[in-house]
Amino acid sequence: MKKLFFFMSVIMMAVMTSCSDAKSDPKSIHEKITNGTELNQSDYSVMIDYMAEGAKKGMDAFNSESMDGIDKSMQEINKEYPYLQEFIEALDKGVANGKLNSDNQKKLDKVNEEFYNTL
Q: Mind listing the pLDDT tens digit for each residue in 9-45?
A: 545 544 443 333 445 899 999 999 999 999 999 999 9
Mean pLDDT of the 87-94 span: 96
pLDDT for res 9:
53
DSSP structural state of residue 39: P
The answer, yes or no, to whether residue 5 has pLDDT greater than 70, is: no
